[in-house]
Amino acid sequence: MPYTAYDNRSLGFTTRQLHAGYNPAENHYAKNVPIYQTAAFEFGDFDRCLRVCSHEEPGAVSYSRCANPTNQVLEERMASLDGGVAGLSFSSGMAAITGAILNLAQEGDQIVAAPTMYGESVTLLTKVLPDLGITGRIVGNPDNLDEFEALITPRTKAVYIESLGNPCINIIDFEGLASLAHAHGIPLVVDNTFATPYLFRPFEHGADIDVYSATKYLGGHGTTVAGVVVERGGFDWSNGRFPQMEEFLRESGRSDDPHPFTSRLYNRSLSYFGAHLAAQSAFQILQGIETLSLRMERHASNAQRVAEFLSAHPAVSHVDYPGLPDNPYHELAQRYFPRGLTGMMSFRVRGGREAAIRFLDAVEVFDQMVNVGDAKSYVVYPAIATHFGLSEQEQAKAGIYPDTIRVSVGIEDVEDLLADLDQALGKAARA
C-alpha cells in the first residue's frame, strides 16, 4: 500500500506530529526530513522559470529567503497540528509576531491586547510599533471582556492575547473574546507558545491567527530560536477593515486564495523583510515536534506536582497555576485545557526580593535562565530578566512583583525537582 500518512489530517495528533507534511517518495525515500542547505534552487529551463516565478507550480521554490523544502514540511506540519490552512516559519517568535501584526495593521491603526503577555510583545506594541504609527492599546483587566470592547475603534485591526498569560498563567475566555472581535469584524490573534497545539488549539475556540515561539516547547530542547504563524482560514478579509488585503488579492489575481493572510505575510515578511527561518533550524524544530505530545504530558504532570508542592510550602506566599483548585482560572482551565496545563507557572517567595535572590542562587537542578519550554527545568526573576522593559506599574499589571519567581518545569524525575525546590526554599527562608 502506498504511504499516505503525510497528508491525512484524520490521523491522531501524535501520528501527525511524526508524519504530516513530509512525503519520503518526493525526497529519495529519505525517512527523515532532509535539510536543504542551499540558498537557491535551479529553474532547469526557461519555461519552468516562468511557471515558478508566476506561482503556477505549487510548492516550487527558487530562493531560501522566501521558501525552502525543509521549512515547508515544518509549515505544513504545524498547519496540520493546529488545524489551520497554512503556516509560515520565521527566524524567531518575535519575527513571527511582528510579521503577523504588520500584516494586519498600517499607519494609524491599533491593536487591542492583553497586559498579561511576554514582555517583549507588550514593549513591541507600546514602544516600538508606535514609531511606525501603529498603536498597541493594552486593556487594564483581561478578565473583563468589556475592557477589550471599550478599546476597539474603527481603526482597530486585531485583538491580541496569549492562550496562557506570561508569567501568571491567566486564562482569558477565548470564545467570548473571539465573538466580540468578530462582531467588530476583526480577527483574534493568539500567541499559543505556552500551550502548544497539543494542549490547546485556539482555532477550535474562534481564533483566526496563531503565533508561536517555536524556540520553546515545539523545539523542546532549547537548541534553536524559531517562530511560526498559522492561519485558520475563513476570515472575511473583504469586510472593509482590511483594504491592504483586498488590494493584495486584487494585484495578485488570487481572489479565491484559501489563505490570503499567509500569502500576503509570505510576500511581505519573507520576500521583503527577510525574516525566514534557516533550513537547519527548521529541521531542529521538526525533530522536537516528533515528541511534542509525550513531552507536554510530562511537562503538565510534573508542573501539577510542583504547583501543589509549592502551594503547600511555608516559604511560599502565593502560586499562580490554574491547575490548583483555588486558582481563579481553574474553571476555565478545566473547560479549555482538558489534557492538562503547561509546564509554566510563577510563585512568590516569603521575605521579598532578598529571599527571592537567595532562592535563585540556591537551586541546583533548576537553572537560572530566561528561556522556557525546554525539557530541562529553569527558574528566573521576571522583574529584571524578562519584563525589564516595563515600568513597575506595568509589571504589577502583569502580576510581577519583587518576590515573583517564574518557573519552567521540565521533564526530569519530579522527585528531584521537588527536593531541589525544597532545599532552595529552605535557604531563601534563612536570612
Ligand X SMILES: *Cc1c(COP(=O)(O)O)cnc(C)c1O
Is 21 a binding residue for ligand X by CB under 6 A? The answer is no
* Binding test (CB under 6 A) with ligand X, winner from 17, 64, 126, 166: 166
Contact window for ligand X (CB under 6 A) among 34-42, 44-52, 191-199, 235-243: 191-199
Contact window for ligand X (CB under 6 A) among 174-182, 187-195, 249-257, 293-301: 187-195
Closest CA to 210 of 115, 75, 325: 75
* Binding test (CB under 6 A) with ligand X, winner from 181, 275, 372, 390: 372
Is 215 a binding residue for ligand X by CB under 6 A? The answer is yes
The answer to whether 286 and 73 have CB atoms below 8 angstroms apart is yes
Is 191 a binding residue for ligand X by CB under 6 A? The answer is yes
Is 359 a binding residue for ligand X by CB under 6 A? The answer is no
Closest CA to 86 of 186, 214, 292, 229: 229
Restricting to residues 78-137, which ones interact with ligand X according to CB under 6 A? 92-94, 118, 121
* Binding test (CB under 6 A) with ligand X, winner from 116, 213, 304, 342: 213
Is 208 a binding residue for ligand X by CB under 6 A? The answer is no
Is 304 a binding residue for ligand X by CB under 6 A? The answer is no
In whole angstroms, the minimum distance from the beta carbon of 348 to ligand X comes to 21
The answer to whether 138 and 122 have CB atoms below 8 angstroms apart is yes
Contact window for ligand X (CB under 6 A) among 53-61, 102-110, 213-221, 265-273: 213-221
Restricting to residues 386-425, which ones interact with ligand X according to CB under 6 A? none
Is 210 a binding residue for ligand X by CB under 6 A? The answer is no
In whole angstroms, the minimum distance from the beta carbon of 191 to ligand X comes to 5
* Binding test (CB under 6 A) with ligand X, winner from 227, 233, 260, 351: 227
| Residue among 356 and 372 whose Cβ is closer to ligand X | 372
In whole angstroms, the minimum distance from the beta carbon of 154 to ligand X comes to 28
| Residue among 284 and 311 whose Cβ is closer to ligand X | 284
Is 17 a binding residue for ligand X by CB under 6 A? The answer is no
Residue nearest to ligand X (CB): 93
Is 162 a binding residue for ligand X by CB under 6 A? The answer is yes
In whole angstroms, the minimum distance from the beta carbon of 386 to ligand X comes to 9
In whole angstroms, the minimum distance from the beta carbon of 406 to ligand X comes to 10
In whole angstroms, the minimum distance from the beta carbon of 368 to ligand X comes to 16
Q: Which three cell numbers stand for residue 268?
A: 511581505
Residues that bind ligand X (CB under 6 A): 92-94, 118, 121, 162, 166, 191, 193-194, 213, 215-216, 225, 227, 372
